[in-house]
Amino acid sequence: MTLWQIVILASIACLVLKFAGYLVPARLLEAPAPSRIADLLTVALLAALIAVQTFGAGQHVVVDARVPAVIVAAALYALRVPFIVVVAVAALVAAGIRLVT
Amino acid sequence: MTRSSAERTAIRSGLAVGIATAVYGISFGALSVASGLDIWQTCFLSLVMFTGGSQFALVGILATGGAAAGFTGIATAALLGLRNVIYGMRMAPIVGTGPWWRRAISAWGTIDESVAVAIAQPTRPLARLGFSVTAVTVFVGWNITTFVGALIGDAIGDPRAWGLDAAAAAAFLGLLWPRLKRLQASVVAVAAAVVATVLTPVLMPGLPVLVAAIVAVVVGAFNWLGRRDDS
């Protein structure tokens, strides 16, 4: 697939899902399992993405400047520092470590 | 036109949430370009897909696996977009009325933030107002800041030297953080992270994330560690 095909297919898939919510009968919501699974699915995917983004290098697991950056980010989120500031600080930490090592 | 104080409150919270969210379009734009997409592909995602978690996920997987990881990238983005189905079901009675084109616009604007502001309102008209103000503010802001971020990302060259790979992990963490209030969610998060890490050396890039999603399906289906009133 080309990058454009990937971008367009993924966008259509997500848009169709948004429309689907307005079309399915609301009584499905009364069964708690689907909405619980959807919530947990978001959590699991984000956590897995954090792990891969922090430790992954292609098919290898490595510990490098990203690890301290993510630890600093977690500490800042715990202190309720705004998203954009945390993301910028994480980038600075990783870039700083790479600059001196 | 005069507005009641409840209406002003709904508008104010919509604007506040919308502006705060829009700001991180900068990081999405920069990360997307760093992952190998061009500026127009990046802007297309913010315009059409318009759901931050899925956008970050797609570019994150393309960054590690390239176009060869296209299928897993699409699947991960779609799975993350599944929660929008639930949001749509909740919002349909409130904003899903009127002609088809208005329902289509409501569906397009259905994201974490617009739904959160809507359900915080005490009445249905206020919910509709909060939803609309938030959706429009995020949409306009998110698309402008995505473009700006993409220009910045394009200008700075090697993303690793600027720590943009760590910034991507921190961005995912920021999306996850507010969802970790319950034990069940925290356990799922840790287990999914372990599964994805362990599988990274054995599966092609992108797949470990998809396999880790099974943790959520299993725990959610049996409601392990869940609250009794959920079952």
Q: Is B98 an 8 Å CB contact of chain A?
A: no
What are the sequence ranges of the domains in chain A? 1-59, 63-101
User: Across the interface, which of A5, A58, A73 has its CB nearest the CB of B170?
Assistant: A73
Burial class (CB in 10 A: 0-12, 13-18, 19+), A44: buried
Amino acid at A62: V
* Helical (H) or strand (E) element with A60: strand A60-61
User: Across the interface, which of B60, B88, B162 has its CB nearest the CB of A22?
Assistant: B88
pLDDT of B59 higher than 80? yes
User: Across the interface, which of B20, B38, B169 has its CB nearest the CB of A50?
Assistant: B169
Q: Is A4 an 8 Å CB contact of chain B?
A: yes
pLDDT of B107 higher than 90? yes
pLDDT of residue B228: 57
Q: Is A85 an 8 Å CB contact of chain B?
A: no
Q: ipTM value of the model?
A: 0.92
* Contact at CB, A3 and B173, closer than 8 angstroms: no
Q: Which range is least confidently modeled, B40-44, B141-145, B161-165, B183-187? A: B161-165
Place of tokens 């600093």: A72
Q: How far is CA B126 from CA B11, B107, B133, B193, B217, in A?
A: 9, 18, 10, 39, 35
* Contact at CB, A52 and B60, closer than 8 angstroms: yes
Decide: A63 and A85 in contact? Cβ < 8 Å.
no
